[in-house]
């Protein structure tokens, strides 16, 4: 049967509607973005409040010995915002996982998979519909969180420190690739296990490398910048292609019906 956008849209419509009626899941999707806005805004506010604090010079010189005293606050603000992007990237990976973990495992749990697969929908339509239902809200949340972050940070800094070209590129190019990765991992795992909670837990582990990178940056072991993020992005792009191939193969009607858990 040839591909039908109408059927893929129907799957998206149903999953999106189901998500809108799930306040618990919506709350958990909103919690992480709030934290990602409030924490850096608070740190920037702390730096901007007392720019002549000698302790700021000590901290700044830990990262760069050349930083002069009066420039320490601005250096730290810029540094925290560059490093924070690694933490921000947790959001486009994690939010789709919250939704996509239920993609197939949830259908299995609710016993809705069999009637669904008995309909004319194809595996690819199912994959696209379910992925869109996860990616559209995730990316919307990411962009909205970025908008809020800009407002909050600029207000806290008392100056226009965001958006930078790196952040803009990151939010609109890198974040979608990371979201695609998070969604792909969750969809593949969800198709292989019979329990959505297990799918969520296993998929959630994919954010650990990002946490590690952020820790390395804040610890001064890794120096973040546009080139650094581009390298990570290239790696994720390769993973995206691998996941897309795996998910397409996995979304085979017979495989979904017979490979339970």
Name the site residues for other proteins (rule: CB under 8 A): 1, 4, 6-7, 9-11, 13-14, 17-18, 21-22, 110-122, 253-254, 257-258
Angle between helices 72-88 and 208-218 (to 10 degrees): 170
User: What minimum distance in Å lies between the beta carbon of 256 and other proteins?
Assistant: 9
Q: Minimum distance from CB of 12 to other proteins (Å)?
A: 10
The least distance separating other proteins from the CB of residue 125, rounded to whole angstroms, comes to 9
User: Between the CA atoms of 1, 103, 138 and 121, what dihedral angle is there, to the nearest 10 degrees?
Assistant: 20
Residue 9 buriedness (CB in 10 A; 0-12 / 13-18 / 19+):
middle
CB of 252 to other proteins, least distance (A): 11
In angstroms, the CA 191 to CA 107 distance is 10
Closer CB to other proteins, 49 or 255, in the complex = 255
Give the residue with the Cβ less far from other proteins, 50 or 197: 197
Q: CA nearest 90: which of 41, 147, 35?
A: 35
> What whole-number distance in Å separates Cα of residue 165 and Cα of residue 177?
17
Nearer to other proteins, 4 or 164 (CB): 4
117 or 148, CB closer to other proteins? Answer: 117
Question: Distance (Å, rounded) from C-alpha 96 to C-alpha 190?
Answer: 12
CB of 246 to other proteins, least distance (A): 21
What's the CA dihedral at 237, 238, 240, 243 to 10 degrees? 180
Closer by beta carbon to other proteins, 227 or else 254? 254
- Contact (CB, 8 A) for 136 and 100: no
Q: Give the residue with the Cβ less far from other proteins, 74 or 108.
A: 108
CB atoms within 10 A of CB 12: 21
Which DSSP state fits 71?
A: G
- Supply the minimum distance, in Å, between the C-beta of residue 257 and other proteins: 5
Q: How far is the CB of 11 from other proteins (least distance, A)?
A: 8
Alpha helices in 89-207 (DSSP H): 90-100, 105-109, 113-117, 123-157, 165-169, 175-192, 196-204
Nearer to other proteins, 55 or 258 (CB): 258
């Amino acid at each position: 049967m040839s591909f039908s956008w109408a059927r893929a849209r129907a799957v998206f419509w149903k999953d999106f509607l189901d998500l809108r009626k799930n306040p618990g899941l919506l709350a958990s999707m909103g919690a992480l973005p709030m934290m990602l806005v409030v924490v850096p805004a608070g740190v920037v506010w702390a730096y901007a409040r007392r720019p002549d604090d000698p302790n700021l010079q000590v901290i700044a010189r830990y990262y760069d010995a050349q930083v002069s005293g009066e420039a320490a606050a601005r250096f730290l603000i810029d540094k925290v915002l560059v490093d924070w992007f690694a933490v921000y990237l947790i959001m486009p990976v994690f939010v789709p996982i919250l939704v996509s973990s239920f993609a197939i495992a949830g259908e299995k749990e609710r016993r809705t998979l069999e009637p669904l697969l008995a309909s004319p929908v194809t595996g690819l339509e199912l994959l696209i519909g379910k992925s869109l239902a996860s990616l559209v809200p995730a990316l919307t949340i990411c962009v909205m969180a970025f908008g809020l972050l800009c407002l909050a940070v600029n207000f806290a800094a008392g100056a226009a420190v965001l958006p930078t070209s790196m952040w803009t590129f990151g939010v609109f190019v890198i974040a979608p690739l990371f979201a695609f990765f998070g969604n792909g991992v969750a969809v593949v795992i969800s198709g292989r296990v019979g329990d959505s909670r297990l799918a969520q837990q296993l998929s959630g582990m994919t954010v650990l490398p990002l946490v590690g990178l952020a820790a390395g940056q804040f610890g001064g072991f890794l120096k973040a910048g546009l080139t650094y993020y581009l390298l990570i992005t290239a790696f994720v792009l390769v993973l995206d292609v691998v996941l897309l191939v795996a998910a397409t193969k996995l979304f085979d009607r017979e495989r979904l019906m017979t490979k339970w858990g």
